[in-house]
Structure 1
Amino acid sequence: MMRTRRNIFVTLVLIGLIACLGIGTLATVALITLRAVNTPSIPTVETLSQEITRAFPTQRPPSRLPTAETTTPTMVSLPPDIAAQMDEIEQQVIRIRGLQPRTPLRRELLTTGQLHQKVIDDFLKDYTPAEVEKDVTTLSLFGLLPRNFDLYTLLRDLYTEQIAGFYDDDTKTMYVIQDEAFRGPQRSTYAHEYTHALQDQTFDFKGGLKMTDEVCDQQSEYCAAVQSLIEGDASLTEQFWLLNAATPEDRKQIQEFYQNYQSPVFDTTPEFLQQDFLFPYRQGLDFVLDLYQKGRWDAINAAFKHPPLSTEQILHPEKYPSDAPLEVNVPDLSPVLTGYELYDEGEIGEWYLYLILAYAEKQAWRLNENIAAQAAAGWGGDVYQVWRNPQNEGTLLLVNIRWDSENDAKEFYNAFRQYGIQRWGQPLSTATTTSRWQVSTAGQSILIRENSYTIWILGSDAKAVTDALEAFQTLIPQP
């Protein structure tokens, strides 16, 4: 599961192509409707968040991502009138955000077909069938995808659905579709994109923020949090641009776009993935708004120097920066899992715990969103492992979660028990700290609460589940 999340995240950092022409932020329509172009007032967490929710209560086409530009970039066959507009938008963004460009950016034109192919060649070529299989296996064990789901095709289609362009932070080049007009939606997008340019040149995505494949492979929670900071900042800057620099014609064109916009691939994507795609923009904007309320742009700049560490901190800004993730370990299970090999491992985080409970593959398994959110809150740290038996294709999922308090552990245990009943039926046995389900002819799922820890084990073989649980429990501190 988390490998898929990392792959999606890295692709988004580079190109930001999810179910949209690369247009606007999720508050665009709300701000057009409710605020005037030169309104001097500052949006608050409460007012802007409420406006965003009313405008897009369940879905928002994500905007684009990181770029690195200058006020006088090198133009490559770009029409002079469009180049002039881009230069003007850059100057406006510089004044709004208060960051200064440092290095030039190349802008190149591609046809729609060329851009689609470049996306596939550059960002999906290394997504091997083995990695796809690993992702689907893990996500299916978490109850988020069907076992035989075609994840590769979905990602390919998402990344090539009505795209407008993308930034390649390796070549420092912005690719623009030459057969698209540069109207209100594209102008708003450019303001968002240029903010990423300023961020990258000021704070250095890879060198300073450590947003690399290697780091994100090991620290998916950190990368999800930093991605949210990056996107939240760019989205807020874009709101200010819309309020203070966009023209009436820009607003009219953006309204018309949203009235006619269709995204068939995104609309049919599993709901948990829709929510996950939107997380950096929606929850990231809330997080950055909280920072802005406390200290304006200086507070946001400070966050880039001391980044958030988890999705918990993004969901609960009051926990940033003091509430860092807690260390969680697992024992070496290879001696007790005869015939099994470690297949996948990583961390889940508060956000994905919420998705598991609230956006499971099947509607009947899902908990109420408020209940799921409350159950996932209080997360302290976690680790998961997936083991696989290559001989009989047996699988074993192990999750160790450390909570901030014993009450948090109890709350999650009770919520997950209800989720388990809805997914697997009534437990074989249940107690205040243990629930066990029969999930197949030989398979079982068991949930244990030990002090401020919860352990979930799901396996296709009941003996392997029991053996793993005994090894796990030796690691949990006793009162």
Structure 2
Amino acid sequence: MTSLFLAVSFALAAVAQQPPHLAREVESGLELIRSGDALADSGKVNEAQIRYHEAMERILPSVRGLALKHPVKRDETPREQLGKVLVDEWEQDVSPEKFRRDDATWKTLGLIPPEFDLKGAYVKLLTEEVAAFYDPKTKTMHLIREPEDEPAADGKDKPLTKKDDKPPTLLELIMGPQPKFDKDGARIVIAHELTHALGDQHFDLDAMLDAVKVDDDAALALSALIEGDATLTMMAVAQQDWTGTQIVAMPAQGLSRLVRWFGTFLPMMGGTTARNSPPVMYQSLLFPYVNGLVFCAHLTNAGGWPALDAAYKNPPLSTEQILHPEKYAGPEADPPTAIDLGEIRTPEGWADLGRNCIGELTIRIMLARQGGNQAAAGWDGDTLAVFAGKDDPKRLGMVWLSTWDTEADADQFADALQKYWMPTDEPAALVQQGAAPTTRTITGGFVTTTGKDVLVVRGFDGPVAKAVAEDVMKNHKKREKTFPKANPPRPVGA
């Protein structure tokens, strides 16, 4: 009790040092939290959530250092209907063409089994593990309307807050339903989602996310910035850091060590559906929150909240920069290389499904049993083109060109790929080795290294594979990757 009293006292003392208008807003927000808690304890959980929403609109500008330009539109949707809302929005956002490309990409890389129902897995995840969320397309905060318990027989309302249950995990708080209404969890989830609304009002998150739709690696990096920001702000709210001054000083290295420590126990995090998903789904889901948090802490350690604001105007471009924050800015900055494969003559009988960037994170996941962290560490850029048979859409072909920091990194990656795609009872083979490009055989194709570049061709017969490889090596172009100019990040109204 003494430690709690001291924590609250220190937090209120910090609030008192804020500009008067912010201090007044925080005090008003805290009063709304107390009102919401009382409503929750009396069983009126839906009214409590509205109070928490109103409270966080007053408190977050003080914590995050960004003014709320206008109140956030709010919607209350019954839990049993919210899953459908999420699925409908996901289907509107992900075109059939993009989904087909992504599904084929993961399958041709061996990240999910050939018969895996990826759409069904996404729908199950969206409908089973649902919490309040902010939608940047509609600028709406969706609160979940929960069924409310009836008053007890003695005339007193039954408390709905959790007492003896195991504390929810990070992903369960943000994405998953709880067996009973959790006041603390509801407050910090609403704080997390309203941080997105705050960022959207200042930086137009919808336009930024739309700009990287065709580049999964850049999209994951941007999501890490957005979710890391919201998670850091959420943590400030959870520890009653109403001025946001304590959380920005929390050492990123400490968070990084914590992430590495519980990496072994990742299957314990998140809800059942998330935990039972293929590693590429689960780890891609977890990455923006966990690694994004560490990345954002690196920025705030150096420059406070303004450093995060600056990152929205100069976003990270790769998961490499999230995994290694020193590569994002400063003397060790390493902007990724964009690779344009150029014109590839689509083989007869094949359909070109599109291009994508795979990136360091997904390569780590893919090559986990072949020393993925080391094999992916020298990544500098890549582009993969995926094809499907016109007569047999399940027949997939791929052309994947990547470039690496050093020739040794390229060789290490190629060796790992050969182990990944070569059956254990089939001897590894070097078709060609020497000063000229080195070619390694793999099941269904080959891997060729030329200096710092690695080319993978799989799924085609010999003459077609050779022609496709020649097209790529002849026509590809490289440049330093930049944020797409079609929808550049910008402050709203600028």
The TM-score, its normalising length taken from structure 1, stands at: 0.71
Q: Counterparts of 2:420 and 2:189 in 1: how far apart (Å)? A: 40
SS in 1 for 2:239: helix
- Partners of 2:335 and 2:342 in 1: CA distance: 23
String of CA shifts for 1:134-169, please: whole Å, max 9, x gaps: 433221110111112111111111001141222232
Equivalent residue, structure 1, for 2:238: 242
Could you give the per-residue CA deviations for residues 424-473 of structure 1, whole angstroms, max 9, x where no partner exists?
84335456522113x3xxxx220111001000111142332233233334
Structure 2 counterpart of 1:138, from 86, 93, 105: 105
Greater CA deviation, 274-283 or 109-118?
109-118
1:339 maps to 349
Residue of structure 1 in register with 2:415 after alignment: 414
Q: Which amino acid in 2 is paired with 1:354? A: R
Deviation at 1:40, TM superposition (A): 7.0
CA separation of 1:217 and 1:168: change in aligned 2, threshold 3 A: closer
Q: Deviations over 1:165-206 (max 9, x none)?
A: 222323322221221646111111111112112111122213
The superposition leaves residues 375-422 of structure 1 with CA deviations (integer Å, 9 ceiling, x where unpaired) of 112211111111233145553200000112222212212222222335
Where do residues 316-335 of structure 1 align in structure 2 (5 Å cutoff)?
316-321=324-329, 322-334=333-345
How do residues 188-199 of structure 1 correspond to structure 2 at under 5 angstroms? 188-199=188-199
* Partner deviation per Cα, 1:81-132 (whole Å, 9 max, x = no partner): 5433333333332221111100222222221122122222332367576665
Which residue pairs with 1:88 in the alignment? 55
Q: Aligned partner of 1:436: which letter?
A: T
Q: Which amino acid aligns with 1:448?
A: T
Report the CA distance shift for 1:389/1:144 in structure 2 as closer, same or farther (over 3 A): same
Is contact 1:334–1:340 with CA below 8 Å preserved after alignment?
no
- Counterpart of 1:13? none
Code of the residue aligned with 1:179 in structure 2: it is E
Contact in 1 for aligned 2:110/2:366 (Cα 8 Å): yes
C-alpha distance in 2, partners of 1:332/1:280?
A: 34
Residue 434, structure 1, aligned to residue 443, structure 2: no
Residue number among 219, 222, 246 corresponding to 1:223 in the alignment: 219
Aligned with 1:276 (options 265, 276, 284)? 284
Q: In structure 1, how many angstroms separate the alpha carbons of the residues matched to 2:391 and 2:48? A: 64
Aligned partners of 1:334 and 1:341 also within 8 Å: no
Task: Write out the 4+ residue segments of structure 1 that deviate beyond 6 Å after TM superposition.
Answer: none
User: What is the rounded CA distance, in whole Å, between the counterparts of 1:262 and 1:303 in structure 2?
Assistant: 28
Mind listing any 5+ residue stretches in structure 1 that lack a counterpart?
1-32, 42-70, 247-259, 359-365
SS at match of 1:145: coil
RMSD: 3.2
Identify unmatched segments of 5+ residues in structure 2.
12-28, 33-43, 148-180, 243-267, 478-494
The question of whether the paired residues in 2 share the 8 Å contact of 1:38 and 1:245 is answered with no
2:384 and 2:81 map into 1 onto residues whose CA distance is: 40
Q: 1:323–1:132: structure 2 CA closer, same or farther, 3 Å change rule?
A: closer
Find the counterpart in structure 2 of residue 288 from structure 1.
296
CA distance in 1, matches of 2:230, 2:70: 19
1:106 maps to 2:73: yes
Is the contact made by 1:436 and 1:446 (CA closer than 8 Å) also made in structure 2? yes
The residue matched to 2:335 in structure 1 has which SS? coil
Q: 1:126 to 1:143 in 2, by over 3 A?
A: same
Give the whole-Å Cα distance in 2 for the aligned partners of 1:392 and 1:163.
36
Choose the corresponding residue for 2:209, options 203, 208, 211. 211
Distance 1:423 1:134, change over 3 A: farther
Does the 8 Å CA contact 1:340/1:387 hold for their aligned counterparts?
yes
Q: Determine the C-alpha separation between the residues in 1 that align with 2:374 and 2:269.
A: 34
Residue range with higher mean Cα deviation, 160-169 or 347-356: 160-169
Residue 388 of structure 1 is matched in structure 2 by 388
Q: Percent identity?
A: 30
Instruction: Please tell me whether residue 167 in structure 1 is matched to residue 151 in structure 2.
Output: no
Structure 2 counterpart of 1:361: none
Q: Confirm whether residue 157 of structure 1 aligns to residue 124 of structure 2.
A: yes
SS at match of 2:380: strand
Q: 1:203 to 1:127 in 2, by over 3 A?
A: closer
Which position in structure 2 is the counterpart of 1:459?
459
